A = this chain, B = another copy of it.
Amino acid sequence: MNKEIRYENTFKTVKILMEKRISRVDLAKATGLTTAGIGKIVKNLIDLGIVKEKERISRNVGKPPTLLEIVPESIHVVGIGIGRDRIESCLTDSKGKILDHVSSSFDNLESLVNTLYENVDSIFKNAKRNSIEIKAIGVGIPGIVNKRKGFSEKTTKFGNFENILLNKILKDRYKVEVYVENDADMAAIGEKWFGGGIHLNNLIYFLIDSGIGAGIVINGSIYQGEMGYAGEIGHSLVTKDGQINYFEDVYGLDVILKSAQKFYPDLKSIQDFNKMIAKKDDRALKIFEDFSREIASLVLFASNVTGIQNIFIGGKSVEFGNVLLQSIIEITDKFSFPNHKLNVQFSHLGDISIPLGSATQA
């Protein structure tokens, strides 16, 4: 067996174990591997302290099978989500349980690194105090990610990220392995492993914030495409008032808020905006209807391309609450194929989906 396939099979095995306790025989069935092959992988995981044997099920006849389970405290990793103006970091165990969570905002790219250090320093200190050894750091960032160096090659909204080599600076400071991935991809993986997607093989996670992206899970794994940028839907085009533009430059939340501020300069947040909608203010309603219709179109489009019906919405847009969700559901219900209605819901994990997903990749 070559190294890559062995890694893949180990990963497959750990994934199944993260969902349930299972015997070696059932693991072999679930993975399609031989019992001998599973035996070797499991032995290795037990030696590493990642998996342990659990109580036997009593049956009437014969020797009961030994169940295997992940040792929750066996691996601790830090998951980080870097947004446009906010860093979310958490410490998790191998079962995705969050043991620590730090969140900080930053003003500009220059202050990103210091904010990141403060954020992660705090987690490492707390971990040390509790005798927890952190094995790795996973980071989710916007745009097309250069995984080797750990920066974003291209985002329309995030600015020039190429001077900040996350892989290097985090590895140098914390002396652990560092993995950098796309934020929406990590949100989708977080949702699949620990959120509303636990029992789903296919899902799309729409990260709708000032930037707009999507993470696509196909057959249980993240789909990034040949060039790694699958799901970069904010970079798609939309025609409005005869003008062609990037979707996120017309319907990103910052632009939506700015549109509303033309009429209501005091409006500061989506919560303020929501109050105008609740009051049935004409101009606020018009902006919101335009926004939610185009988000629904985006969702339906991505669903039609991928054939995926289970949709999770995350990012700051969830602050619109049910008014947004209902609006998307109404439109997609009306225009999806009769026997293939979309199942649209908000992320079950909220802000934590990116760092949690990032943690799984670490």
Q: Which residues of A contact B (CB under 8 A)?
A: 144, 153-154, 201-202, 214, 216, 223-233, 235-239, 244, 246, 293-294, 296-297, 300-302, 304-309, 331, 335, 337-340
Contacts and interface: CB of A to CB of B under 8 A. Distances in A.
Contact of A232 (B202, B226, B232, B337): B337
A244 B301 contact: no
A337 B229 contact: yes
State the copy count for this chain: 2
The 10 closest A-B pairs by CB, nearest first: A225-B307, A230-B307, A237-B297, A236-B301, A305-B305, A232-B304, A202-B226, A236-B304, A229-B307, A302-B305
A198 to B, nearest CB: 17
A224 B294 contact: no
Contact of A300 (B214, B229, B237, B297): B237
25 contacts: A144-B337, A144-B340, A223-B307, A224-B307, A225-B307, A226-B308, A227-B340, A229-B304, A229-B340, A230-B306, A230-B307, A231-B307, A235-B300, A235-B335, A237-B297, A237-B300, A237-B301, A237-B331, A237-B335, A238-B297, A239-B294, A244-B331, A246-B335, A301-B305, A302-B305
Given A202-B225, A232-B307, 20 more contacts: A216-B305, A224-B307, A225-B308, A226-B308, A226-B309, A227-B307, A229-B337, A231-B304, A233-B301, A233-B304, A235-B337, A236-B304, A237-B296, A237-B301, A238-B297, A239-B297, A244-B293, A244-B297, A244-B335, A305-B305
Contacts of A225: 202, 306-308
A330 to B, nearest CB: 11
A340 to B, nearest CB: 6
Contacts of A300: 235-237
Contacts of A238: 297
A223 B154 CA distance: 28
A94 B225 CA distance: 30
A214 B304 CA distance: 10
Contacts of A306: 225, 230, 305-306
Given A238-B297, A297-B237, A338-B154, A230 B331 contact: no
Q: Which of A153, A232, A306, A331 has the most CB of B within 10 A?
A: A306
A84 B202 CA distance: 32
